A and B are shown apart, each in its own frame.
Chain A
Amino acid sequence: MNTDKKVISVRNLYKKFGAFTANDDLSFDVYKGEIFGFLGANGAGKTTAMKILCGLSYPTSGEIMVAGLDVYKQREELKKNIGYMSQKFSLYEDLTVFENIRFYAGIYGMSSKEIKAKADELLQKLGLVHARNKRIGELPLGWKQKLAFSVAIFHNPEIVFLDEPTGGVDPVTRRQFWDLIYEASRDGITVFVTTHYMDEAEYCDRISIMVDGRIEALDTPEKLKTQFKAKDMDEVFLLLARKSNYQE
């Protein structure tokens, strides 16, 4: 982790929907190559904040720079420098593995020669060479998920945003998925991930916990545990979540 280079810098981000404040004065930095966990209960405002960082939605106010670009004025440029994977599985089921890669890489303006070479390399790495021309729909969910992540970072973005990427995946595949995330991080790609699983939170370099639209805690998992005198992240999270005045 290189704390010299800020990849995401958020200052006083507000997002209001009428009278409801979804993001209440968020300020944080994310550094290059870092795995940044973005935690919070459902409805805490994670997805809203993420959408703003991806250029999908405008903030009400605040200064936000992503990959050195302004989310208000340089959206188009910004979108070229980020990757995104949503909680919904998002490859085309009726296209083959290679066709999906070619389609998404093509959108990001990669040349077909480049795509072909890189796709072969990727399939080799994932052990999916035999499935190159199989339709995505025929693959098991674990493979699809890994492939979706690989496609999201195929164009070598500075940051990849993962919105609950491991929902509905078995523990073994989740572990393998995190290996891919570590690898991407080693390659210098910053990973911004939201998750529900507290064991996954421990894998992150730093985490922030959102409660009712505000960031209540932001540090490494170790320091958070000492700070809250908790034995694991689960306990930290519960302590903070109880502060919520929006009880379920």
Chain B
Amino acid sequence: MLILFGMPIVQLLLFGFVITNDLKDVKMAVLDHSKDEYTSEIINKIVSSGYFNLVENLDNITQVDETFRKGETKVVLVFEPDFGKKLIKGSQASVQILTDASDPNMANMEVNYLQGILHNYNVEINRGKQVPNQIIPQTRMYFNSKLESVYMFVPGIMATILMLVSAMMTSISIAREKELGTMEILLVSPLRPLQIILGKVTPYLILSFINALVIVGVGYFVFGVPVLGSFALLMTESLLFILLALSLGIYISTVSNSQQVAMMLSMFALMLPTILLSGFIFPLRNMPQPLQIISNIIPPRWFIVIIKNIMLKGTGLEFVWKETLILIGMTAGLIGLSVKKFKIRLE
């Protein structure tokens, strides 16, 4: 009953809030070579639009790469030297819009919004002038210069598939043994509970790992999605995520006694959040605050950040250690919970 009436409401709310294509508080940095009244006026206009937040002022073009790699800042605005002077005298001045395009949809929107603001400003200052001034925006997409959406889908699909194969299959297969009564026999046998669990989990560990290899391989050879960072690190992180998903599967199986319950739990507790709240398709930073908070407990959210960083930005562990630690913590927590549940059942 709860599922029948609760699910539609939850889904409606989720979809309604999650699927918004508006920008909100995009973190922006500025590299202003000119520092005149025009550039500061433009920056003011952009910030007061509400779509962008100025978080940093850079002094050197070499800092741009570093800034993007950290992952917080999504846009950098670069004003050329003597921007203001050129705008008046030469009537043409250029500004560069650099975006982190590891999320292509967002990058596109950011560029459109910025161009819109620049255009409006341009119209404003041209009012009553005979020779119109022109601000020429030039855009450059970092990490995904052709704005291919496959760059976004490969990490997302990887997270979804690994979650599905590992968590869902494990939970269903353990629940199945419980349902059929074979689990009882195994528990009475000299096998230790740990051996039973390992036996159930190992096949899915191998399967999922092969899946991860295949996804990265197809992404690379068919769609040209690069692996800029260390391949070994990528696979280690994937393995960590698989372990996490497996322990989640074990946990689900300890709370469900039939295959059906395990299936329902996996579908609603794993599938939907993985797709909606992980930042796979819908950017997290556009969501309402409560959903953003909920998204923190969704493992794929962190995993997607990690693989995007490694594959598209080529960063090493030094930029993803925080996310990695979160995944490790979640895995340990889930294993602990499952062991506790298991013991309670024995007593």
* Chain A residues within CB distance 8 Å of chain B: 54-58, 76, 79-80, 82, 84-93, 104, 107-109, 161
CB-based contact A76/B192 at 8 Å: yes
CA distance A144 to B221 in the complex (A): 51
Query: Can you list 11 contacts pairing A with B, beta carbon distance less than 8 Å?
Result: A54-B188, A57-B347, A76-B192, A79-B188, A84-B184, A84-B185, A85-B185, A86-B185, A89-B180, A90-B180, A92-B180
Q: Is B188 in contact with A57, judged by CB distance below 8 angstroms? A: no
- Cβ-defined partner of A58 (8 Å) among B180, B182, B186, B346: B346
Q: Considering the complex, give the chain A residue whose CB is closest to the CB of B185.
A: A90
Least CB distance from A157 to B in Å reads 10
Q: Are the C-beta atoms of A93 and B347 separated by less than 8 Å?
A: no
Check if B187 is an interface residue, CB within 8 A of chain A: yes
Nearest Cβ in chain A — how far from B272, in angstroms? 31
- Contact among B184, B191, B192, B347 for A86, CB-based, below 8 A: B184
B290 in contact (CB, < 8 A): no
CA of A89 to CA of B180 in the docked complex: distance in angstroms? 7
Q: Who on chain A is nearest to B196 by CB?
A: A107
8 Å CB contacts to A: which residues of B157-199?
A: 180-182, 184-192
The docked-state distance in angstroms from the alpha carbon of A45 to that of B313 is 63
For B181, B182, B190, which residue has the most chain A Cβ atoms within 10 angstroms? B190
A104 to B182, CA, bound (A): 10
User: Helix, strand, loop or mixed for chain B's interface?
Assistant: helix
The distance from the CB of A93 to the nearest CB of chain B, in whole angstroms, is 7
Q: Does the CB pair A58–B181 fall under 8 Å? A: no
- A contact residues around B188 at 8 Å (CB): 54-56, 79, 82, 84, 161
User: Measured between C-beta atoms, what is the minimum distance from B257 to chain A in Å?
Assistant: 12
Q: Is there contact, CB below 8 Å, between A79 and B181?
A: no
**Contact at A88–B190, with CB atoms within 8 Å?**
no
- Contact partners of A109 in chain B: CB under 8 A: 190
A79-B188, A109-B190 known, 12 other contacts, Cβ within 8 Å: A57-B346, A76-B190, A76-B192, A85-B185, A86-B181, A86-B185, A87-B181, A90-B181, A90-B185, A91-B182, A92-B182, A108-B189
A90 to B182 alpha-carbon distance, docked (Å): 5
Q: Given the complex of chains A and B, what is the CA–CA distance between A199 and B197 in angstroms?
A: 41
Measured CB to CB, the closest approach of chain A to B340, in angstroms, equals 15
Which residues does chain B contribute within 8 Å of A85, judged by CB atoms?
A: 185
Per CB-CB distance, the 7 closest pairs between chain A and chain B, nearest first, are A88-B181, A84-B188, A90-B181, A79-B190, A80-B190, A107-B189, A90-B185
Most chain A beta-carbon contacts within 10 A, residue among B181, B184, B185, B347:
B185
Collect the chain A residues with CB atoms within 8 Å of residue B189's CB.
79, 104, 107-108
Q: Judging by beta carbons under 8 Å apart, are A107 and B191 in contact? A: yes
A136 to B180, CA, bound (A): 13
